[in-house]
Structure 1
Amino acid sequence: MADNWVRPYQPGSGRWLVIAWEAFALAMLSWATVRQFDLIGHGVRVVACLLAAVWVIGAWRILQLGVYVSADGVLIRGLLRSRVLSWREIARVRLHRTIHRLGPWEIESGRTVLLDRRDGETVNTELWEQGVDFHSRPTLFRAVYNEIQSHHTAANPT
């Protein structure tokens, strides 16, 4: 696969809010752990260093999240894993309207971009119209969808 992956959008500022929130949550976890177990000295430093390392790794992954395209395929970077699909594997790129049911009510939560593979599997791209990258930029979501679709069409002219 290609080495020249390009994310067809700039990440939203909401990612920094998520990273800040995670820092606060891990600081509270560190404080609670130290208090709960009456840690002192090296124990405090070990807990602080472990949780700081978790935060740094998590923040890096949050900044790298997204969909990247190249002439060869699409790279989907999630929080815990990444997935590469060649354009030949993808039958179509489509928008999906997400609806959650709560008893008799339906709650619409925006659209997502899905990739239908030729083997029948559907792959979620993690691109969500109401997500941190597109919530305040609805036209960007549609532009990213169109760009992914045009890459797919260019790779599969049939």
Structure 2
Amino acid sequence: MPLPFLTADRAFDAADDVALPYDDRDQWRRPYRPGPWRVGAAALMLLLASFVLFAAVIIVAAGSPSSAGVVFALAVVVIACALRLLRMGAWVSAHGVRHVSFFTTRTLAWREVASVRTVQQPVRWLGLPRTVQGQALLLVRQGRSAESMPALLTSHNSDFLARDGAFDRAADAVEAWADEYRGR
């Protein structure tokens, strides 16, 4: 079964000379692969869910279906969290840019975007409160306040930790999408 969210930038590997190599630009896509930290955390969560599901089967065999239902519901929540963890990141399409975090999703049309730029600033290390000096891809909204959204990508999040080249390619790809569609 193909998992398109794990192979998002295969087209970028094949066509380095083309900034936007996708044929269907109306479809939301992440212009980079999820990093090893994110995939590893999701794999551990799915492993935990398999043990919890096995425990639910044992509880049903022991004759307590109501308790098994609670344990099964817990496994479903863990699986949903693992899938949401894999969906997190910046997504682009011809319609705009979407920033997916664990609990919220923010979508901006390209006409609402004033600029997309990479800056050096303190960034959170793996999303924890500790900050380190790194790079962040910032999106500034148009309007009276010209407010800035939280960083779309950082060089020290779970997708790009110790993968500076991948961060640069992803930031360039998002900036290319912005340059292509912001004026329309």
1:60 matched to 2:44? The reply is: no
**Aligned 8 A contact 1:19 1:62 in 2:** yes
Which residue pairs with 2:173 in the alignment? 147
Q: Encode CA deviations 1:121-152: one digit per residue, 9 max, x unaligned.
A: 21124412012211132111111111111221
Q: 5+ residue gaps in structure 2?
A: 1-24, 56-62, 124-130
Deviation, 1:24, is 7.4
**Aligned 8 A contact 1:75 1:84 in 2:** yes
**Aligned 8 A contact 2:139 2:152 in 1:** no
Which residue pairs with 2:153 in the alignment? 127
**Aligned 8 A contact 2:34 2:159 in 1:** yes
Which residue pairs with 2:71 in the alignment? 48
Identity of aligned residues (%): 28
Answer 1 or 2: which has greater strand percent: 1
CA distance in 2, matches of 1:76, 1:125: 9
Q: 1:58 to 1:149 in 2, by over 3 A?
A: same
Normalised to the residue count of structure 2, the TM-score between the two structures is 0.65
Provide the aligned length of Structure 1 versus Structure 2. Answer: 142
Q: 5+ residue gaps in structure 1?
A: 32-39, 101-106
Q: Encode CA deviations 1:62-120: one digit per residue, 9 max, x unaligned.
A: 111111111221122211121211111010112233327xxxxxx63422211100121
